Amino acid sequence: MASLPILVIKFGTASITHASGEPDESVIARIAAQVAELHPYYHIVLVSSGAVGAGKNAFPDYKGTLNERKAAAAVGNPLLLNLYARHFDTHGIRIAQSLCERHHFANRLQFLQLKDTYRELWDNHIIPIANENDVVSNLELKFSDNDELATLIATGFDAQTLLISTSVGGLLDSRGDIIPKVPQIDQQILDLVRPDKSSLGLGGMLSKLTYTRLATRMGVRVVFFNMRHPHAIPMALNGQTGTVFSAQEAALSARQKWMGSGSLIAGRLVLDAGAVQAILQRRSLLAVGVKKVKGSFDKMEVIELLDTQNRVVAIARTRHDAAAITTNLTTQNFEIAHADDIVLL
């Protein structure tokens, strides 16, 4: 099958459910119809929330505890997938369920297996619908929300565009109007975020902007849009509705994109100004530029590189464990990470 551009579309809980949390079947029907229009031209992944809302009515005294959410997701996942399957079937399209866990992205081999599985689905004209495997996900290793999951898929699979459906329909300026285009997410853009968040979804606008900044830095164009707008998905794809976040130049290998988005962080190093400048110039990291070692990590694990204000500058795969780095902080030419194993963020 000829290679097609990859399109990831994420639907938050509030964008596909009624106020009660139950799936809005009319929205699911519109999603199926609009995605069917794009299906011949893209390899598509849908990332859909809503399983907990679909299943929570099965529990008379539901209070939203972690175990109740896991149980509600177990009930709601097949109900939600059945809705998608039924409406996509009217367009002659099959869908597949993809329940993901954090280690599927953190482990390079498992990530490549996931990628191969998706390509097999695409080769057979099947659309995967991804969601977190809430039933078994370890609390410490959970995705922060489906914005993160969608970003990991988009960046790791080298997607061209990531569409994120929100109830607001875009990023709002200080007057409450949608900003049509954001060339780059800087502090001025982050300051626009309001502290409120949806009562249905776990993620708020700050979460979306955080992962959108990562996606755009990895070369993925991102669009926030409102699914309740007529022809919402094709219009969002064409930049005719919502907020478009421009992709940044990213000359990164597939392995570097995986490192920058999918790896679990094992520890952190605080760097002096000279070391920060060196890695910004695409040079290797030497021990003499490290001011502090944080955490206990092993050789070949992924760590964050911070400046003296504790801002994340890059991530790197380290050539030495934490103890060896601590012992050799004053050793000349002791290389912690080669330039090819450093990804600027």
| Backbone phi, psi, residue 264, to 5° | -80, 135
Q: What is the pLDDT of residues 73-117, one digit of tens each?
A: 899 999 999 999 999 999 999 999 998 887 777 777 888 899 999
pLDDT, tens digit, for every residue of 177-225? 999 999 998 888 888 876 554 444 444 777 788 789 888 988 899 999 9
Q: Which fold has domain 6-254?
A: Carbamate kinase (3.40.1160)
For the beta carbon of residue 181, count every other beta carbon within 10 angstroms: 12
- Residue ranges per domain, the chain? 6-254, 265-344
- Contact predicate 317/301, CB 8 Å: yes
Residue 119, strand partner residues? none
pLDDT bin (cut points 50, 70, 90) of residue 17 is: confident
pTM of the model: 0.80
6-254 and 265-344: same fold?
no
How far apart, in whole angstroms, are the C-alpha atoms of residue 335 and residue 97? 44
Dihedral over alpha carbons 112, 69, 195, 236 (to 10 degrees): 50
Indicate the fold that domain 265-344 takes in CATH.
2.30.130
**Mean predicted lDDT score pLDDT of the chain:** 87
pLDDT in tens, 117-160: 999 999 999 999 998 876 655 544 455 578 888 998 998 898 99
